[in-house]
Structures are given as structure tokens and as C-alpha cells.
Structure 1
Amino acid sequence: MLEELEVRNLGPIRSALLSPNKAMTAITGETGAGKSMLLSAIRLISGATASVARVSAGADSAWAQGIFDVDENGEATRLAQDAGALDIDGEKSDPDPDEIGRQELFLSRMVPASGRSRAVLCGHSVPRNVLGNVAAQLVTIHGQADQMRLAAPARQREFLDMAADDTAERDAYRQAWQQLQIIDQRLSNVTNQEASTRARTDYLRESIEQINKVDPKPGEDEELKEKRSRVENAAEIAQGVGSALSALDASQVDSDSDAQGASDAITHAIQALRTIHVGGSFGQAADRLESLNADLSDIVFSLSNEVDTDGDAEGLDAINSRIHELDELTRRWGPTLEDVIAWRDKAVFEVEDLDASPEKIDELKAQHQQAFDDALKAALVLSKKRKDAAAALANTVTKELSALAMAGAGLEIRVVQRKSASKDKTVSKNGEADADSSTWPLDGNGIDDIEFLFTPFPGSPQLPMGKSASGGELSRLMLALELSVAEKRTAGSSDMTFIFDEVDAGVGGKAAVELGKRLAKLSQTSQVIVVTHLAQVASWADSQFVVSKGTAKAQSASSKASVETTVNEVTGDARIHEIARMLSGSESATSLDHAKELLDSSKL
């Protein structure tokens, strides 16, 4: 939801601050007053292309900023976090209960009089497309240029999928489609082998054979190098261990020796201390010596196991030979034996994929057929969900168009399953088909071609959207579409802001009242901002801002006065006067009474 829009030096607007209502806001004013600049400001913070021509005369730059209140766990917040522009890990002190789970996003854009524009998200400079991606989750603009985007088949498919609430079916299809692409790539690799591919296969096989012949074990080279070091230093080890054992416990070296070792000396010391029966620290000293003697015994035991275990000098050549073999492997496929083993295991699978034997090709073809069957089945389920939703959506939109002074207008949404002209295919009652990729062309979005066909008036031929209606008719069609999917678009969230421009073109009387009522209805689930010339539409708004054009004072005697646009909220009597002006162009007693009556009656 847009909390605040601030604009500086954009066209005739030198400075403006707009705080839209949470529900419906009307922006009114004389033709040419500059209402379009407010829409330009919103487009700028939505990532639109910037034009230096929009910078106010004499200003160094134009600037616009929108502050949005959003769901802390919503998609817009996630995108801002992914861009590194937002960190919400810290907790607010004494948070307002209404603010729990909410987050403010600041989207701003600076356009210099010369040079490149700058996009800023929550105080961080970001690429323009990042600002656009975040804004796309927050703002939907329905002006003539924006409505033309729905003429694209991809946008129509996205809109229908949202109305169909077919996320589960699309996810199931995309998973099956991705698996089909993997199998297709493997089959293509096998069936299109060339000389370089065969050479690669030969290299892999020879490498696998060489590694298998050596049969390395993880960490084996390090163990062998340690063992070699012990063999090479066996004499030094034996001398050191023997001397240590002689000092600690001579009996471990010579069973007939009567020499007293360290262990015996400590034992005598313990016995001496135990004979002292006077209180004090003697017993504690004896306990400590016993603990020391136990550790000493463990050391003696360990060293005694080292005697005569590392003197196998005859095996040194075999160890060196093995280390050399392992070093050759790590030099070519290393740097470690673990890397060598992992490379071999991966190479085995690659050889299998590159093996163009008839058996392998047949196996992959069978896998392809199964993957295609799965993808087609998922595509047909998705197609049925789209067809059901298309009929319901078109019926609802047609009813809304009648209420919006477009009786006889209608929308048809066609969901056509693509088929090759080479052969007809039939679908069985259970939804399954004769799955053949040559006759059932799938793509990443399924099997359907989707087209929105609009009939703007009775007798008009059905024509694709964007080619069959005026700007006002398109605006009302978009309003009807938004009303039809309002609950689904805003399910679990009220973050979306809808902005309508030219929606009242060619409308008047009761139809204008109904148009305002429909916008107010949409504002019950989303924030709505409408730029309008009709009092019957503006009267339904919860707040109203007037855009006025005046003459700014000259800065000096030599300078000329300039046109300046101001934006002000009107409430109370001021709003009654503005509604009266919109009704009759005057503020007579009759028009003021009419304005009061209109405002009083414009309630849901």
C-alpha cells in the first residue's frame, strides 16, 4: 500500500506531497493542470525509462519517492532483501500492535538534467530493473500505455493463471517439463555424436581403466607417506624408544634387568607417603602420584608396542612404488585422491551418456517417451483448469462491463491446445492422450495458446485486446478484469495499489456513478487511486486531491514568472466546492447542494 508519494522538480510540479487513503483516493483538477506528472512519478519509482525532458526548467534534477507499507513476509520484502537493500532481523522496540508483521519500503528515483538516473531502494542504490521488480509487487497502473501490455499473450496467460489459482498444476507441469528437457538433452548428446565426442569417450574410458588399475583409497597416499617416514627413520625411532623405555621401565627392554625405572621410583614415593599418618597434604600428594603413575604406565605400554614394528626396510621400495602410482593419479586428476575418485565416478556416468550404442539410444528414447507422457498428462490437467477458469472469468467480466455503461460488450477467453497439423490426436475420457511430441508440441508454459478477445459494442467483430477499443474502453475493461480477480489477487494481502487513468473516458450519468461504485468496491480489498474528471467517480473516494496550475513568482527582476503546479488535499467544504466545480464548472448554490447530495449518496 502506498503511504506517501513525494515529488520534486518534475515537470510543472516543484514540490508535492501526497498521502493517499488506504482505500480509494481521487486525483482531480482542470485539464492540463499536471495530473499526469503524478502518474509519471509513480512510473519513475516503478522502474520506467527516465526522460530528462521531465526535469523542471532551471532545476538540476527531478526526484520522486514512494513509501510503501508492505507485508514483512511478502514477495516485495523478499526481493528487497535479496537485493541487499533491506535487513529486518532487528526487532523494533515497543512495536505498535498494528505494525507487527509490517515493513516500510522506500522506492525513489533521481533524474538529473544531464546524465543517468539513479534508482534507490531503502537507501541503497540498485539497478533500475530491481526497483521495477519490487514495484511490480506493489503497484498496478492502468493507463492507456499500461493496458496495452495485456495485449501480449504471455501477460494474458499470467492473468488467466492468477484467476485460475492454478499454482499447484503449473508447478507439477514445470517439474515434468524440466525432467523432459534433461532427458531430451541426454538423447540429443547421444544421437548427435561427432568425432570429438568419440575421442572424449575414448579418453574417459582409458582414464577410468588407469584409475581402476591403481585402485586408490581415500587418504591412502598420506598413510603411505607416514609409513615411509617411519621406515626410513626406523633406527632413530628404535634408539629413542629403547632409551625412553629404559628410563621409564627397564624391564620392558631387558626382563632380567634390576635397574630401577621411573615407574618404580614413583611407586616407592607413593608407599613412603602412605606411611605418614599425620594429617596434611601427604595423602593428596600420594593420590596425584598414583594418577601420574597410571599415565606413565599407559605411555610405557604404547612405547613398548612400537618396539620392532617399524623396521621393515625391505618393504620401503614397495611403499615408494605405490606412492609414485598415487602421485601420478593426483597429478592428472587431483589434487587429492578424493578428487581422483570423484572424477572417475563422474566419468563413468558421462561415458554411459556418450555411449551411442543402439541399446543406449533405445533406453533413452524409452525414458524420453515416459517423460513426455508425464509432461503431457500434467499439461492436460493444467489446460482443463485454465479452460474452466477462462469461461468463469469471461462471464464475470462481461457482467461487469454491462454495469460500466458498456452493455453489449463482452470478453471471450480462448484456451486452445496446440496440435501439429500432421495428424489428429484424441484425448480419452480420463484426460490421457496419444503422447507424441511431434503432434503435441509442449513448451515451458504447457500446451495452450491463450487469447483474450474483446467485443466493445454490439455488432463489433471480436478482435484481440489492444486492437479493438479506445483508451476509455480499455480502462473499463481492465477495471472489470481487476474486479473479477480482486479476491484472488489480494488473497491474504492488501499490499497492492491499483492506479486508474482515463477510466472515465466517454462515461457520464448513471454509468459514471456505477463506475465510481465499482472502484469503491475494489478499494475494499486493495488501495485504489483514480485520476478522474467526473464528480460521480470522485465522490466515491475516501480522500480527494486537487491538482492546480498557477503562476510562480519571478525569482528576480530579470527573470520571468513560470507555471507551477500544486497538489492539495480537499476536505469538508473545500471538497464540496471541488465536486461542484466538476459538476457544473461553477460553485453556485445549486451546484453546491448537488455536490453535497452526491457525496452523501456515494456510499457502499
Structure 2
Amino acid sequence: MLASLSIRDVVLIDRLDLDLGSGLAVLTGETGAGKSILLDALGLALGARGDSGLVRAGATQASVTAVFELAPGHAVWAVLDEQSIPVEASLTLRRVVTADGRSRAWINDRAVGVTLLRQIGDYLVEIHGQHDQHGLLDPRTHRDVLDQFGGHDALRAATAHAFREMQAADAARDRAEAEAEAVRREEDHLRTSLADLVKLKPEPGEEADLVARRQRLQNADRVVSALNAALDALNGEPGLEMRLLDADRALQRLPDADTEPRVAQLRAGLERASIEIGEGVAAIERLMADLDLGEDSLEAVEDRLYALRAAARRHQVTTEDLPELSRHLRERLDLIDGGTGGVTRLAAVATAARAAYKTAAAALSTARRGAADALVTAISAELVPLRMGRVELAVAFDPLPEGSWGPEGTERCQFMVRTNPGAPAGPLARVASGGELSRLMLALKVVLARTASAGTLVFDEVDSGIGGAVADAVGERLQRLGGHAQVLVVTHNPQVAARGDLHLRVAKRVEDGQTLTEVRALDATERREEVARMLSGAELTAEARAAADRLMSLASRDVA
């Protein structure tokens, strides 16, 4: 809701600071006192067109600051986040217009363009009256309003999901068709390349394996020669083991061979050497047995390596990419061969997705028509007490061309009105007069109050040209609407003014030869006097004060 409004040097207002609350706020005052200036100033903060005519005479600039208090999940916060504007406890909109017509705007002290300010303002305030028209008078909002009233969130989500699926399927089919056309142009080359790769049968990691095998084969002669030389050295004639045995026999012939410790140690050493030599021979023999040179010759390995590298150069890829290239060529040819990625299959998927979207959109459309009937019935009931019983409201559904289908469905919805029997129905803004339009907007907002997106509603002279029971009906509906949203109403009608939770009086004063507009919140006694003035005119009478008491008492009783 709008928490405060600060105005500086706008037309006849030199300085004004208003603190506002929830519920119904009424603005009253003599004709020409400047009530419309308040709405012009608020509109300026919301992104309306600004020009030098708004700057008070003698001032260099006009400025308006509007502070809003919003719930954490309000849609505005997401918009600000997209624009990287800091989110604070409250939302502050500020607009300045200089005497030479230049305009600047800020959101939470961040300089922004007027377009963004207007976008944010549309989320916050709806103004209905005989001058500025927003919200429901824009046909682009009618479909969303109808869906909010009908509670179509699930159906809209299903339709949006089906639309995205249809878009994705159409895009996949279109890409496949374009690719298939390209494949047909180079089909012979693709088939030849694929046949060569199928024949070659490249494997992942094969080049590295071949390089290692070639290295082993190139070293094979040196390895075998070295191992054989080692065996010859150990097993030559006479062998080392035999010579060690001869040495041990010689030591055994010593006279003290059995008693001399040193001879025993020497013989033990010879025995260990003989064992080590035997183990060395066995180890060399195992190494030769384990030497795996494979069945391929060096020539065969080098031929395979050359074939892989030649294919890689021919296709301008690495040998490691050859298996993937083979798969890719197969997929491309599948587009015209009718494989799993073929155009025919993707076209069938796209057809099914389109059918699913049309089904979802049709279900949403059916629900909209039911909601439209309920909405028209509810609004018609509200119009009777407003002396607009002959006004007929309808919701027109216009099918969209296929190229304009979207996540919201396949149709356009627009509220239409017929103000006189026999007259053609037309859009709200073009058919209804100013007073009728304001009361029609009031009836719409009363019915849509629980689903309204904007938290602040402004009605400019919604009670113009009416009185008595009709004015009381308008006041009762404004008061009821104030229970769901913040409502600001400019009124000349005491029946409406008596129902305000906050009463603001607009008046002119002359100071230092200048005419200025001031706005003041009235207390209970001042409210009674203002309502009495609205009843009786310039001269206040006891009867007028008594009538004001009755009106205010009735208003309080209706609230209770």
C-alpha cells in the first residue's frame, strides 16, 4: 500500500507530506481546490508524463516521492531483482521535473528510466476516473484478471508447460529438417566417409595402445639379446655353479676342513652364491617366458597406426575423435534414412506436442468462459444499486492466429459493455461516460477485490452526478473494497465521505500574494463539520450537523 506521499512545488502545492494507512481514504474540498493536483502528483511518481506545467510558478523544479509498503512476495520485488535494484524494507519512487521540462526518476535511490518507473507503478496503483485510466481499461490485462478471478493457476501452468514443450518440439523438428536438407546435399560424401570409418573400426584410446605396442616391438630384439647373453654368462661351459661346486670340493680336502670355523664360513658362502645364481637363472627364464610381444608384427602395428592417423587428418579431427565422428555421421544419415533421430519421428513428436498444447489451451478456454459467466453475473448484481441496471457487461473471446499463440492460451479476452439497450457493445474506455466508467470500474473492483494485483486503488469522482441512495451504494462499496485494498477516493458526496477511515480536506489559501493548495487530515469533529458542509453548502446548520452525525453513524454501523 501507499504509506506516504511527499510533494514539493507541484502546481499550487508548495510543500505537502501525507501519511496514509489501509482502508478507505476520502479527499474532499470545494471545486477547484486542487484535489486533482494530488492525483497528478501521484501519477508523476508512478511514471506518468511530466512537463514543465507541473512546476509551481517561481520554483525551479517539482518533485514527488511515494513510499510503498509491500508484502515479501510482491511481484515488484522480482522486477527490481532483474534490474539489480536493491530491495529494501520499503519501496521508494521519486520523480523530479525541472522548469525546462526535463525529467528524472529514482527507485530506492537508484536512477532509472521513466519506462521502468511506469512498469513498477502499474503493479502498485490503479487509477480510475475521468482523467487518467489504468489497469482494467487496458484490454491486455483482461485475460489475467479473468484467470485470477477464476483461480486458473493450475490450468495456466499446464498450458504454459505444454506451450514450451510444443516450442521445443517444433524447434527440434525444424532443426532436423534443415539438417536433413544439408545431409541430402552431401549424402554421397557422408556415406563414403561413414563406410570408411565402419571398415576401419576405430576404438577409443587405440592410438596410445598402438604406440606402446610399437615401442615394445621395436625394443624386442635388444631385450631378447640381453636376456640370452645373461643366461649364457650364467650357464656357459663350465658353468658357475659347477665351478662353485669344484671350489667346495677342494675346500673339503683340507686337513682341518671339519674343524676350522673359517673354512666352514667360506663353504657356507659358496653355497649361498650357488643358490643365488640358480635363482637368477630362473628369474631370467621367467622374464623371457613372460615377455609378451603379441601376435602382431611391427609392420602390422605400424600399418594400423598409419591408417588411423590418415583418417584423422582426412576428417580434420584427432584419432581419439574418430569413433564419435562415426556416430555423428550415422546420426546425420539417420535423418534421411528414418532412424531414431529422423525427421519423420521428430515431426510426429511435434504433432503430438501441438495436440497436447491445444488440449491444455482448450481446457483453460472452457474454464475462462465459465469464469466469465460468473464474473458478469456478479458485476451485474453490483451495478443495480449503482443505478446502472441497464448496463450490460460481457466478455469477448477472440481466437488468436496460430502465430500468436502463447503460454497464456490461444485467445484474447476483453471486457465489453453496452450502456443502452440496442446500442452496440464496445470496449470499456470507449463506450462508457466518465461517471459511468468510474462506477463500472468500482463494481468490477468490488467483485475482483480478493484477486486484485494492485494494493492501492484510486477513484477520481466515482460518484459524479449521483446522490441519495445511489451515492450511499457507492460509498458502501468503496468501504467494502477498503477492507481488501487501500482505496483513495476524490468525492463531492457526503454519503461517500462519511464512510472514510481517513478524511483529507483539500483547500486553497493565499500567502504572500500566492495561491497555494493545502491538504489536512481531519479529526472526528472536523470530519463532522466537513460532511455537514457537503450536505448544506456554505452555511452550516444544526440540521446539517445532525444529518452528518446520522451518516457517520450509519457508516460505522455498516463496518461493524
Judge same fold: TM > 0.5, yes or no. Answer: yes
Structure 1 window deviating more from structure 2 (79-88 vs 320-329): it is 320-329
Q: What is the deviation of 1:347? A: 8.6
CA distance in 2, matches of 1:388, 1:537: 34
Q: What is aligned with 1:501? A: 460
Instruction: Tell me the SS of whatever aligns to 1:466.
Output: helix
Q: What is the deviation of 1:36? A: 1.8
CA distance in 1, matches of 2:115, 2:196: 52
TM-align CA RMSD: 4.6
Picking from 362, 365, 368, the partner of 2:350 is 368
Q: What is aligned with 2:40? A: 40
Instruction: Tell me the SS of whatever aligns to 1:71.
Output: coil
Q: What is the deviation of 1:25? A: 0.4
Task: Map 1:78-97 onto structure 2 (within 5 A).
Answer: 78-87=78-87
Q: Is the 8 Å Cα contact of residues 24 and 486 (structure 2) preserved in structure 1?
A: yes
CA distance in 2, matches of 1:205, 1:131: 60
CA distance in 1, matches of 2:528, 2:196: 92
Q: What is aligned with 1:272? A: none
Aligned CA distance change for structure 1 residues 352 and 542 (closer, same or farther; 3 Å): farther
Instruction: Tell me the SS of whatever aligns to 1:72.
Output: coil
Note the alpha carbon deviations across 1:384-429, whole angstroms, 9 max, x for none. 110111000000000001122212223122446679xxxxxxxxxx
Picking from 462, 468, 476, the partner of 2:425 is 462
Find out whether 1:521 has 2:473 as its counterpart: no
Aligned CA distance change for structure 1 residues 351 and 573 (closer, same or farther; 3 Å): farther
Which sections of structure 1, spanning at least 5 residues, go unmatched? 89-102, 235-307, 309-313, 420-436, 554-560
Task: Map 1:417-428 onto structure 2 (within 5 A).
Answer: none
Find out whether 1:578 has 2:530 as its counterpart: yes
Q: How many residues align?
A: 486
Task: Map 1:299-338 onto structure 2 (within 5 A).
Answer: none
Q: Which has the higher helix share?
A: 2
Aligned CA distance change for structure 1 residues 358 and 333 (closer, same or farther; 3 Å): closer
Which AA in structure 2 matches 1:595?
A
CA distance in 1, matches of 2:484, 2:346: 52
Structure 1 window deviating more from structure 2 (474-483 vs 30-39): it is 30-39
CA distance in 1, matches of 2:14, 2:24: 25
Aligned CA distance change for structure 1 residues 564 and 197 (closer, same or farther; 3 Å): farther
Q: What is aligned with 1:480? A: 443
Q: Is the 8 Å Cα contact of residues 390 and 415 (structure 1) preserved in structure 2?
A: no
Picking from 149, 155, 164, the partner of 2:150 is 164
Picking from 523, 541, 549, the partner of 2:508 is 549
Q: What is aligned with 1:385? A: 367
Which AA in structure 1 matches 2:486?
Q
Find out whether 1:531 has 2:531 as its counterpart: no
Aligned CA distance change for structure 1 residues 562 and 186 (closer, same or farther; 3 Å): same
Q: Is the 8 Å Cα contact of residues 385 and 473 (structure 2) preserved in structure 1?
A: yes
CA distance in 2, matches of 1:76, 1:504: 31
Q: Is the 8 Å Cα contact of residues 417 and 448 (structure 1) preserved in structure 2?
A: yes
Aligned CA distance change for structure 1 residues 26 and 194 (closer, same or farther; 3 Å): same
Q: What is aligned with 1:59? A: 59
Which AA in structure 2 matches 1:545?
L
Q: What is the deviation of 1:319? A: 13
Find out whether 1:131 has 2:117 as its counterpart: yes
Q: Is the 8 Å Cα contact of residues 191 and 356 (structure 1) preserved in structure 2?
A: no
Aligned CA distance change for structure 1 residues 149 and 105 (closer, same or farther; 3 Å): closer
Aligned CA distance change for structure 1 residues 137 and 148 (closer, same or farther; 3 Å): closer
Task: Map 1:14-413 onto structure 2 (within 5 A).
Answer: 14-87=14-87, 103-114=89-100, 116-144=102-130, 146-147=132-133, 150-189=136-175, 360-413=342-395
Aligned CA distance change for structure 1 residues 571 and 362 (closer, same or farther; 3 Å): same
Aligned CA distance change for structure 1 residues 9 and 220 (closer, same or farther; 3 Å): farther
Q: What is the deviation of 1:453? A: 2.4
Q: What is the deviation of 1:520? A: 0.5
Picking from 474, 481, 489, the partner of 2:452 is 489
Q: What is the deviation of 1:327? A: 9.9
Q: What is the deviation of 1:382? A: 0.4
CA distance in 1, matches of 2:50, 2:191: 58
CA distance in 2, matches of 1:522, 1:140: 13
Note the alpha carbon deviations across 1:38-74, whole angstroms, 9 max, x for none. 2122222222232232222232222111111111232
Structure 1 window deviating more from structure 2 (42-51 vs 475-484): it is 42-51
Q: Is the 8 Å Cα contact of residues 5 and 19 (structure 1) preserved in structure 2?
A: yes
Q: What is the deviation of 1:35? A: 1.7
CA distance in 1, matches of 2:519, 2:462: 21
CA distance in 1, matches of 2:190, 2:50: 55
Structure 1 window deviating more from structure 2 (41-50 vs 317-326): it is 317-326
Q: Is the 8 Å Cα contact of residues 152 and 364 (structure 2) preserved in structure 1?
A: yes
Note the alpha carbon deviations across 1:307-326, whole angstroms, 9 max, x for none. x9xxxxx9999999899889
Q: Is the 8 Å Cα contact of residues 166 and 385 (structure 1) preserved in structure 2?
A: yes
Q: What is the deviation of 1:473? A: 0.8
Q: Is the 8 Å Cα contact of residues 50 and 101 (structure 2) preserved in structure 1?
A: no
Q: What is the deviation of 1:546? A: 1.7
Instruction: Tell me the SS of whatever aligns to 1:412.
Output: strand
Q: What is the deviation of 1:119? A: 2.0
Q: What is the deviation of 1:149? A: 6.0
Q: What is the deviation of 1:188? A: 4.1
Instruction: Tell me the SS of whatever aligns to 2:15.
Output: strand
Q: What is aligned with 2:551? A: 598
Note the alpha carbon deviations across 1:459-511, whole angstroms, 9 max, x for none. 54433322221011111111111111212337xxxx71111113112221111
Instruction: Tell me the SS of whatever aligns to 1:85.
Output: coil
Aligned CA distance change for structure 1 residues 81 and 369 (closer, same or farther; 3 Å): closer
Q: Could you state the TM-score of these two structures normalised by the residue count of structure 1?
A: 0.67
Instruction: Tell me the SS of whatever aligns to 1:70.
Output: coil
Q: Is the 8 Å Cα contact of residues 214 and 325 (structure 1) preserved in structure 2?
A: no
CA distance in 1, matches of 2:7, 2:537: 28
CA distance in 1, matches of 2:517, 2:164: 54
Q: What is aligned with 1:430? A: none
Note the alpha carbon deviations across 1:187-220, whole angstroms, 9 max, x for none. 4455568987866989999999999999999999
Which sections of structure 2, spanning at least 5 residues, go unmatched? 220-290, 292-297
Which AA in structure 1 matches 2:510?
T
Q: What is aligned with 1:566? A: 518
Q: Is the 8 Å Cα contact of residues 4 and 67 (structure 2) preserved in structure 1?
A: yes
Q: Is the 8 Å Cα contact of residues 147 and 478 (structure 1) preserved in structure 2?
A: no
CA distance in 1, matches of 2:311, 2:104: 58
Picking from 395, 402, 410, the partner of 1:447 is 410
Q: Is the 8 Å Cα contact of residues 335 and 341 (structure 2) preserved in structure 1?
A: no
Aligned CA distance change for structure 1 residues 197 and 212 (closer, same or farther; 3 Å): closer
Instruction: Tell me the SS of whatever aligns to 2:90.
Output: strand
Q: Is the 8 Å Cα contact of residues 406 and 457 (structure 1) preserved in structure 2?
A: no
Which AA in structure 2 matches 1:596?
D
CA distance in 2, matches of 1:33, 1:195: 74
Note the alpha carbon deviations across 1:432-470, whole angstroms, 9 max, x for none. xxxxx89xx955432334332213245544333222210
CA distance in 2, matches of 1:342, 1:413: 58
Aligned CA distance change for structure 1 residues 476 and 196 (closer, same or farther; 3 Å): same
Note the alpha carbon deviations across 1:211-245, whole angstroms, 9 max, x for none. 99999999999x99x99xx99xx9xxxxxxxxxxx
Note the alpha carbon deviations across 1:110-136, whole angstroms, 9 max, x for none. 222336422211122233333333333
CA distance in 2, matches of 1:58, 1:351: 79
Q: What is aligned with 1:279? A: none
